[in-house]
Structure 1
């Protein structure tokens, strides 16, 4: 685990932030060469690993100046954040990955990761080139693994994001957040924004509910597990990303009348897509081009993500779009690098 999950005093600082704004694993491909550490004299944010430099101040790692450290693989490895069944997303991403092959002239392989930690380690080790990291994992990926996010999904009108919701079984006697006292709450993983960080801050700062004192926490391992657990009555409550729940309802995995929401947050940025910092700049430009020019109409990507309203990729910067997530992490005392 990259950080300590309990910071009760720091949690009190986060109220203003929230008010202002949530299958079996497969073997990874063989690792490619990992660049040597950057010099200690190069500029970088204090939270960034010492192997990276950030001379332009955009808070993400610059490409290495030494061309010998660039990677230009014959096969691009792509991974989508492990929020739901990997088999579903292998199919959902098929048309886009075929287009990525067309634009880059490279073979592209879908890599099904089984945890946020596995995805982070794969990129840091050089086994992952292009990826979508979930909201809470993006800062870890940027600072620990050299991830360069540049796009995310949005609706047709350009609006984007999702909300964190706290859900309970439809027939539960829990009617409000205050009723969670003395209960068990399911979270997803410690790196998840809506699955752990934002709800932990909310419960402490706004409702004076502290884990271990006022409620018991369990970790389900994923949003789909938490949602299914609540729908089936295995969990008394869970904090989840509502975009995942919407897609599960549209696919018929659960029915809307099995769960009930007792809290909904303001909107957070959704999954960030990008590439590893030392990808050959010419290849990185083609990856950007593929995301920018992909036609969603009639594709497997549209079929799946239209369930939660997404219809296009829009350009983003980590510095601007993840500012609120970094504020939450700072108040929680989160450390991105061990």
Structure 2
């Protein structure tokens, strides 16, 4: 009875420890809880600043760090940078308050205003003072492609690199100026289409992984500075009309003091101070390819709205799936919308950007910097000691029965306490201190999920929803079939390869000098993610399903070889000895005594991995390795939730069908 009570007490202590740490980490409600700070507490406030990653994260970190430090000094706030290569993630982060201010491209900025409650307050310029850049199409320097007409031959011989669906120069401008006017669908025109950021597209072109890709003049200039070897292997074959520079956007509900401090920094940085201070600021801005910042408003996005409508208008006029009546209605709606935008009514809530500057750069410095919380550390140490003591006491032998040696009890107690220490050690790094947000922001998750369903229950809304859903099914089903075919061949090749590797990895079949190298090779196969392996094969076979098949085959070989070898090591030695007694060679022992015992288990393992590969293959579309993953990520990034819902439904049905089929096969074969 006492032992049971002690065990319960130990469990309560563990739970209390984790919950206590979480509670201590959660921000306390106060007068300014909505903005994350208590103005009366004197604590230094933190703002989250989002940065769209158009190049590698290592370059971004080194280039942006001095600018972030300057923003902290001028505003008096701690500024936490968040880098994201995915525009949709940054837009959603602003929508739900994870970031308060961000640097966006024009088109992603438009989505941040529409969906994320954003508001333009400044815009960037370039070091030479210009306020525009251009979208470009790039090809390898030795490519036979000389013009955009060569690109648009549409004989499905070209691998094309498109930008993120929320990118202005990588997606919207090429769509509006190249594809929409000609009624061309890139998915049908090219052999394959992959979506990536500008730097990834440039590298893919330079290395011959794609034949043509979108980019912009800003990134090409940065590439010439940082990677001249890559820039020298790229040639531009098309340049768009000028696009205005990128906006800086804050959340519209950000408090006025924060807005004033941010506006003061952006409007005066590089302008105000001694000549030395101004020169130092310009040196900070130069690696970012920024000049000075100018005031702006949501009106900055008006040309992007016009461009978006012109693109949609051209597509509607050339859409073969629309009837004449539907086309007339659609064109009339878009022409009316275009007239409204040209008249100055974009539907965006614009606000004048004139904000009174502050006389001082920011609030007085509070006790800044992260310091060690000695009290919390002491409490944790005491709890660990108490826990060790309780574990030792609870495991002490009482009454009749075998006695556990003290050394074993101490070892068990140390292991249990070590688990607690590891959980505590990884608490902050795993962001568990923000776990309270799962409950606090549950409504935001509900709002996001609601986007996958009709807006209302009216007949018109339901009809439109089902029409869009049906269209999504028609697009998703053929791609899901390709995904399953990728999984079938990837698993088949893996099973064939895993049989010899599994046998060579089994200690009771192969000698140690063979087992260890083969096991280490299988560790390599198993530890590398399928996405990385697929990139290796793309270099050899190009974009498409074959790279996905080989990626799944390599990774699955590593997994199955381990499972197969463990099954072999667990076989009954009786049949093996019986075959050996007949004078059979080791190969005959494996064929007639080992494989018959493990074949049912191997079959089960292979079917389980096929189910897993069917799911994994959906992700490989992210890097252009074929299948449904590519259109899934395009739909998510474009906030096309009805199309996303259709794709997800197809995936769920397909995976469930595969699961049922594999169950039937296991019952039949095992």
Range of TM-score over shorter length: 0.7 to 0.9
Flag the 1:277–1:111 CA change in 2: closer, same or farther, 3 A: same
* Cα displacement (A) at 1:109: 1.1
Q: Is 1:123 equivalent to 2:94 in the alignment?
A: yes
Secondary structure of 2:139's match? strand
Flag the 1:283–1:254 CA change in 2: closer, same or farther, 3 A: same
1:316 corresponding residue in structure 2: 296
Q: Is 1:256 equivalent to 2:231 in the alignment?
A: yes
CA contact (8 A) 2:64 2:288 kept: no
2:307 corresponding residue in structure 1: 328
Flag the 1:254–1:69 CA change in 2: closer, same or farther, 3 A: farther
1:163 corresponding residue in structure 2: 134
Q: Is 1:266 equivalent to 2:245 in the alignment?
A: no
Q: What is the rounded CA distance, in whole Å, between the counterparts of 2:140 and 2:222 in structure 1?
A: 18
The 5 A counterparts of 1:93-112 are 93-112=64-83
Q: What is the rounded CA distance, in whole Å, between the counterparts of 1:190 and 1:286 in structure 2?
A: 33
Q: What is the rounded CA distance, in whole Å, between the counterparts of 1:251 and 1:126 in structure 2?
A: 34
CA contact (8 A) 2:63 2:287 kept: yes
Using structure 2 for the length normalisation, give the TM-score: 0.38
Flag the 1:268–1:31 CA change in 2: closer, same or farther, 3 A: farther
Q: What is the rounded CA distance, in whole Å, between the counterparts of 1:31 and 1:147 in structure 2?
A: 26
1:152 corresponding residue in structure 2: 123
Secondary structure of 2:232's match? helix
Secondary structure of 1:298's match? helix
Flag the 1:96–1:187 CA change in 2: closer, same or farther, 3 A: same
Q: What is the rounded CA distance, in whole Å, between the counterparts of 1:305 and 1:137 in structure 2?
A: 19
Q: Is 1:188 equivalent to 2:163 in the alignment?
A: yes
Q: What is the rounded CA distance, in whole Å, between the counterparts of 1:168 and 1:89 in structure 2?
A: 25
* Cα displacement (A) at 1:151: 1.4
* Cα displacement (A) at 1:156: 5.1
Secondary structure of 2:218's match? helix
**Is the strand fraction higher in 1 or 2?**
1
Secondary structure of 1:164's match? strand
Secondary structure of 1:111's match? strand
Q: What is the rounded CA distance, in whole Å, between the counterparts of 1:134 and 1:323 in structure 2?
A: 14
* Cα displacement (A) at 1:329: 1.8
Secondary structure of 2:130's match? coil
Alignment size in residue pairs = 272
Which of 223, 248, 251 does residue 276 from structure 1 map onto?
Answer: 251
* Cα displacement (A) at 1:133: 0.9
Q: Is 1:141 equivalent to 2:112 in the alignment?
A: yes
* Cα displacement (A) at 1:166: 0.5
Structure with greater contact order relative to length (CA < 8 Å, sep ≥ 6): 1
1:297 corresponding residue in structure 2: 279
Flag the 1:265–1:69 CA change in 2: closer, same or farther, 3 A: farther
> After superposition, what is the alpha-carbon deviation per residue over 1:187-235, rounded to whole angstroms, capped at 9, x for unaligned?
0211111111211222234455432343245233211100111111111
Give the gaps of 5 or more residues in structure 1.
1-29, 34-66
Q: What is the rounded CA distance, in whole Å, between the counterparts of 2:197 and 2:59 in structure 1?
A: 14
Secondary structure of 2:98's match? coil
**Is the helix fraction higher in 1 or 2?**
2
Give the gaps of 5 or more residues in structure 2.
1-24, 38-44, 271-277, 314-637, 642-670
Q: What is the rounded CA distance, in whole Å, between the counterparts of 1:110 and 1:137 in structure 2?
A: 18
Q: Is 1:224 equivalent to 2:199 in the alignment?
A: yes
2:48 corresponding residue in structure 1: 77
Using structure 1 for the length normalisation, give the TM-score: 0.73
CA contact (8 A) 2:53 2:60 kept: no
Flag the 1:69–1:272 CA change in 2: closer, same or farther, 3 A: farther
Which of 135, 156, 176 does residue 201 from structure 1 map onto?
Answer: 176
CA contact (8 A) 1:185 1:236 kept: yes
